Amino acid sequence: MNRLYHYPLSPFSRKVRLSLAEKRIEVELVEERFWEQDADFLRRNPAGKVPVLKMGNRLMAESSAICEYLEETHPTPSLLPSDADGRYEVRRLVAWFDDKFNSEVTNKLMGERVFRKIMGTGYPDSANVKAGSKAIKYHLDYMHWLLDQRRWLAGNELSLADFAAAAHLSCLDYVSDVDWNRSVIVKDWYAKIKSRPAFRSILADQISGFPQPSHYSDLDF
Amino acid sequence: MNRLYHYPLSPFSRKVRLSLAEKRIEVELVEERFWEQDADFLRRNPAGKVPVLKMGNRLMAESSAICEYLEETHPTPSLLPSDADGRYEVRRLVAWFDDKFNSEVTNKLMGERVFRKIMGTGYPDSANVKAGSKAIKYHLDYMHWLLDQRRWLAGNELSLADFAAAAHLSCLDYVSDVDWNRSVIVKDWYAKIKSRPAFRSILADQISGFPQPSHYSDLDF
């Protein structure tokens, strides 16, 4: 049985969960309190991060490298276009969300409001929370601009870029940090993603100490 | 003519420069003071980062997405293996250096000692410098462990993983932050990379306010 060591509110774990589910690759989920840097966990991944995917005897880390591997070994349904230009655009946007959005928004909001509490590293830094709340607006506007020209974020087909974005936004939505009223276009995009079977396991996530808000799993949010 | 907007001491720019040079794709280098967030630059890349590659009318950002694009459109010489397992390992290590090494070492040492001075953002934070100096040892040891089993970092062929690692280490070497005596194996690997024609432009870099140390471009360092 394949196994994914993950943390429910890790966007990088969620991106891999979405890829696996979309490709109907069955996997047992094992929750990993990665910040405790348990010796067994560090043996599985010396980088000390989630997700880690175990397929057969193979242990794999780094979410984007895993997603590319899944794409190459399980190409149907495809999450990357077949042409180099299209593939570039998907990879650019995956990096946009996993690097820029993550450092400007996810780390600032989730990092301060959720992970400090879970990890026991003190009170939220309000300057970071404020900066994250401001930055998410620009990112939602950028998504609006993209989705105004395309059916999905990187083009007319669903791709890894949509899963990367939805992975971050769904974590933030769990703590009610997304203003869905900012753009009808972005809200419609998220409603489409949310209603996919691949998203079900993510909508069922429960994090102790953080009760799931009612809109989170509601398809008519 | 292709054009690369870059900064000489940006490891992400260097990784793309190495890929371009190895594939003999000619490019005009344009130095970009990316932290000034000039309006023209932000039009080229709304993420406000270097490198940005202009090929024909196409503007491309995100170093790893660019490198994958170059690999697909200019496959010879190849910087990614042909099998999925080998490609996974290259991508895992590129992410290791561009994410983990970058945040634990490059940002801490270059960020504090070089970019603070260039950008005029105050004095180095000595706690960060100390943490970076400590972390680089573990990373050099990890490279030693990998290179003890393989000719190159990700396997027996030169790959993007070597260029990602060499991009970070060469920036740190410019400010004499790499202890090459820690591992003969790692030093030999760097000597092999350094002597490639693709590395020449990087060894010729000069940064105003930071004179190039004599060992930096010496192939017998």
Q: Are residues B17 and B106 in the same domain?
A: no
Q: What percent of chain B has pLDDT over 70?
A: 100
What pLDDT score does B206 carry? 94
Q: Calculate the CA B6 to chain-centre distance.
A: 11
* ipTM attached to this prediction: 0.96
CB A61 within 8 A of CB A67: no
What is the DSSP secondary structure assignment for residue A13, as one 8-state letter? H
**Amino acid residing at A93:** L
CA distances from B160 to A58, A163, B139 (A): 22, 25, 17
Q: How many CB atoms lie within 10 A of CB B75?
A: 12
Backbone angles phi, psi at B12, to 5 degrees: -70, -40
Residue in B65, B95, B142 nearest the CB of A92: B65
Residue-level pLDDT at A44: 87
Contacts of A99 in chain B (CB under 8 A): 62
Query: Residue B37 above 90 pLDDT?
Result: no
Task: Name the domain boundary from A26, A54, A73.
Answer: A73
B209 part of a folded domain: no
Q: What is the DSSP track for B48-75? A: --S-EEEETTEEEE-HHHHHHHHHHHS-
* pLDDT confidence of residue B46: 85
- Determine the residue of chain A that is closest to B100 in CA distance: A47
Distance CA A97, CA A99 (A): 6
A88, A91, A94, best to mutate vs chain B, most B CBs in 10 Å: A88
With beta carbons less than 8 A apart as the criterion, state whether B6 and B32 touch.
yes
- Residue A61 burial (CB < 10 Å; 0-12/13-18/19+)? buried
One domain for residues B156 and B128: yes
- A198 pLDDT above the threshold of 90: yes
- Interface touch A61/B92, C-beta < 8 Å: yes
Whether residues B91 and A64 touch (CB distance < 8 A) is answered with: yes
Residue A48 has pLDDT above 90, yes or no: no
Which CATH number covers residue B67?
3.40.30.10
SS3 state at A10 = coil
Q: How many domains does chain A have?
A: 2
B97 and B49, same structural domain? no
Phi and psi at residue A162, to the nearest 5°: -65, -40
Domain of residue A197, residue span: 84-203
pLDDT given for residue A37 in this prediction: 87
Cα angle, residue A135 at apex, residues A133 and A136 outer, rounded to 5°: 70
Residues A92 and A184 in one domain: yes
Whether residues B20 and B93 fall in one domain: no
For B157-200, what is each residue's pLDDT tens digit?
Answer: 999 999 999 999 999 999 999 999 999 999 999 999 999 999 99
Domain end, chosen from A17, A50, A73, is at: A73
Q: Quick: pLDDT tens for A52-91.
A: 999 999 999 999 999 999 999 999 999 999 999 999 999 9
Per-residue pLDDT, A45: 87
Residues A15 and A112 in one domain: no
Report which of A91, A171, A90 is spatially closest to residue A136, judged by C-alpha positions.
A171
pLDDT on residue A38? 87
What confidence tens digit (pLDDT) does each residue in B192-221 have?
999 999 999 999 999 988 999 999 999 999
CA dist., res. A77 & res. A157, Å (int): 11
Q: How confident is the model at residue B44 (pLDDT cuts 50, 70, 90)?
A: confident
Interface of B with A (CB under 8 A): 46-47, 49, 58, 60-62, 64-66, 68-69, 72-73, 84-85, 87-88, 91-92, 94-96, 99-100, 142
Task: Please count the other Cβ atoms lying within 10 Å of the Cβ belonging to residue B151.
Answer: 12
CB contact under 8 A, B91 and A62: yes
Same domain, B57 and B29: yes
Provide mean pLDDT across the span A157-182.
97
CATH of the domain at A184: 1.20.1050.10
Provide mean pLDDT across the span B133-141: 98
Mean pLDDT of B43-67: 93
Q: What integer is the mean pLDDT of A179-193?
A: 98
Q: What pLDDT was estimated at residue B208?
A: 87
- Burial of A126-157, coded b for 16+ CB within 10 Å and e otherwise, reads eebbebbeebbeebbebbbebbeeeebbbbeb
pLDDT at A144 over 90: yes
Are residues B102 and B151 located together in one domain of the fold? Answer: yes
A-B CB pairs within 8 A amount to 65
Q: Put the strands of the sheet holding B28-31 in their side by side order.
A: B28-31, B3-6, B52-55, B58-61
Which of chain A's residues have a Cβ under 8 Å away from the Cβ of B99?
Answer: 62
Residue for token pair 């092999």: B192
- The beta-carbon neighbor of A65 closest among B72, B91, B142 is B91
B198 plus B128 within the same structural domain: yes
Per residue in A16-25, pLDDT (tens digit) is: 999 999 999 9
Number of alpha helices (DSSP H) and beta strands (DSSP E) in chain B:
10, 4
